[in-house]
C-alpha cells in the first residue's frame, strides 16, 4: 500500500490538483466502450426520407412524422420551378394528408441584392405573412418571383418543432435563398406557428403555380 500511496501522492500538487503528468494516452488503453448515458445523445439528425422532384405537382411527406422525434428538419436543395415568377410554399395536415389546411400565423422578412449591384433591400414581407390563415405558407419572404431559368432555384430549410404535441401549437422557422426572376439574390426569413393542438402528421411542398421541375427535399428527425 505504501508504494501505491506514494505514486498517487507524486501526481498531486500540494494544493490537491492533479499534475499534467498524471494523465497520458496509456491511461485510456483499456477503454473499449463508453458507458451508456455518460455522454449526451441529443442533437443528432437522422435522415428519414428523401424525395426527388421530376415535373411534380407537389412533394408530400405523409409518414414518419410521429412522436419519435420532437423536432423535424426539411432541407430543400435546388428546387426549380416550371413557371417563371412563382412562389415555393408549404402547408400542414392533421389527418395524414387528406387535407392541408392548418390555421397559421407568421411573420416574414428578406434581404435582397441584384446582379447589377444597383439595388438592395431589407424589408418586412407583408405579402407573405399570415394571420390565422389556412393558406399555404410561402417560403420566399415577400419577394415573389422565383426564376425559372435553367440555373435558377431556391434552397433552404424548414424546422418544425414537436409536431406530435397534443398540448402546444406547432412552431416553425425557415431560412431560404432564391434567385429572383429579375436577377436578384434573395435571403428569406420566415417564422410562425400552426395554431392547432392536434398532432401534425403530414406536410406538403408545392409551387403557387406550375410544377416543381427538379430538386430534392430531405426529411430529418432530430433527437
pLDDT for 50-74, tens place per residue? 999 999 999 999 999 999 999 999 9
State residue 144's pLDDT score: 67
Query: What is the Cα–Cα distance from 158 to 165, expressed in whole angstroms?
Result: 18
State residue 223's pLDDT score: 86
State residue 113's pLDDT score: 95
State residue 26's pLDDT score: 52
State residue 151's pLDDT score: 94
Query: What is the Cα–Cα distance from 164 to 65, expressed in whole angstroms?
Result: 8
State residue 28's pLDDT score: 46
Region 45-222: CATH code: 2.60.120
Query: What is the Cα–Cα distance from 59 to 163, expressed in whole angstroms?
Result: 18
Question: Which parts of the chain sit beneath pLDDT 70?
Answer: 1-9, 11-12, 14-43, 142-144
Three cell numbers written together for 183: 436577377
Three cell numbers written together for 37: 448515458
Residue 28 phi, psi dihedral angles, 5° rounding: -115, 10
Amino acid at each position: 500500500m505504501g508504494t501505491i500511496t506514494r505514486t498517487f501522492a507524486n501526481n498531486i500538487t500540494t494544493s490537491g490538483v492533479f499534475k499534467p503528468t498524471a494523465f497520458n494516452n496509456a491511461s485510456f488503453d483499456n477503454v473499449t466502450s463508453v458507458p451508456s448515458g455518460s455522454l449526451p445523445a441529443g442533437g443528432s439528425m437522422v435522415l428519414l426520407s428523401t424525395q426527388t422532384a421530376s415535373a411534380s405537382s407537389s412533394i408530400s411527406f405523409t409518414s414518419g412524422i410521429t412522436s419519435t422525434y420532437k423536432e423535424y428538419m426539411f432541407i430543400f436543395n435546388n428546387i426549380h420551378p416550371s413557371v417563371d415568377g412563382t412562389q415555393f410554399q408549404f402547408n400542414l395536415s392533421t389527418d395524414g394528408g387528406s387535407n392541408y389546411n392548418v390555421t397559421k400565423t407568421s411573420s416574414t422578412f428578406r434581404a435582397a441584392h441584384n446582379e447589377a449591384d444597383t439595388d438592395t433591400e431589407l424589408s418586412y414581407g407583408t405579402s407573405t405573412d399570415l394571420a390565422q390563415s389556412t393558406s399555404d405558407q410561402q417560403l420566399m419572404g415577400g419577394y415573389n418571383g422565383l426564376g425559372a431559368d435553367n440555373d435558377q432555384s431556391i434552397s433552404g430549410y424548414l424546422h418544425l418543432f414537436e409536431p406530435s404535441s397534443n398540448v402546444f401549437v406547432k412552431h416553425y422557422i425557415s431560412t431560404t435563398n432564391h434567385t429572383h426572376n429579375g436577377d436578384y439574390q434573395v435571403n428569406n426569413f420566415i417564422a410562425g406557428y400552426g395554431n392547432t393542438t392536434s398532432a401534425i402528421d403530414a406536410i406538403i411542398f408545392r409551387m403557387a403555380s406550375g410544377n416543381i421541375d427538379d430538386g430534392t427535399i430531405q426529411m430529418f428527425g432530430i433527437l
